[in-house]
Amino acid sequence: MIEAGVTLSSPRTCSGVHGPANAATVPCAEPWTPERVRADDQGSGSDDIAEAGFTLLELMISLGLFALIAVAGLTLVDSVIGVDGRTEARLDRVADLQRAMVVISSDLDQIAPGPLAGDAAGVRFARAAPGFGGPAVPVAYRVVGGRLERIVGGRPQQVLDQVAGARWRYFDGGWLPAWPPAPDRSGEWPRAVVVELQLGGTGGGTLRRVVTLPVPAQPS
């Protein structure tokens, strides 16, 4: 018999009930004490919190960050598209300017025998016919309605748009505002012709081209 109030120092064991008599004894489960119940409750609470997922506040913060990133990305894409469009428009404009200068230079380079007359607003002369042979073709340049026009055989052709004005000058020892400088020199050509185009539209500016002329053949 064990007296009351005595605590056993050895662990509690349970012998097999249904096994043989010499079955090994195993430790019994610890009793459910208040301390153990509180420990189990705290452990299960941690697992529940870990498995709870995102809270509403965390979800709202995540959505807000995603929205900011999306807006920044769309702004960047729109900026890139805008820059690309403006670059393409400028390249097209440069191509138009180069083509206009090539046309003017080609006409003056192929000037045909005959008078050349002009003032600050425009010039007119005759150029050799395209190909071999054929009569010379009368050509004139002027600015009409914001467009530089090339009149060939009485038919106007647009050379360049968005032109605010043009200034033609003629070199003969110095730049002259008109040609011929005297009536008795109507059969002569200036040594060079310069055109200055005041461009309109975005960017504006002045485009200048100087074309030297050959010495006209003297009639025999």
The mean of the pLDDT values for the chain is 79
pLDDT tens for each residue of 109-122 = 999 999 999 999 99
**Buried b or exposed e, range 101-130, using 16+ CB within 10 angstroms:** bebbeebbeebeeeebebeeebbebbbbee
More confident residue, 187 or 3: 187
Check residue 133 and give its pLDDT: 67
161-187: average pLDDT: 94
Give the C-alpha separation, 117 to 168, whole Å. Answer: 11
User: What's the pTM?
Assistant: 0.61
Check residue 116 and give its pLDDT: 95
More confident residue, 152 or 76: 152
State the pLDDT confidence band at 218, using cuts at 50, 70 and 90.
low
pLDDT tens for each residue of 61-114 = 888 888 888 888 888 887 777 766 677 878 888 899 999 999 999 999 999 999
State the pLDDT confidence band at 17, using cuts at 50, 70 and 90.
very low
More confident residue, 147 or 54: 147
Give the C-alpha separation, 157 to 178, whole Å. Answer: 24
Lowest mean pLDDT: which of 25-34, 67-76, 139-148, 161-170? 25-34
User: What percent of the chain is predicted at pLDDT more than 90?
Assistant: 45
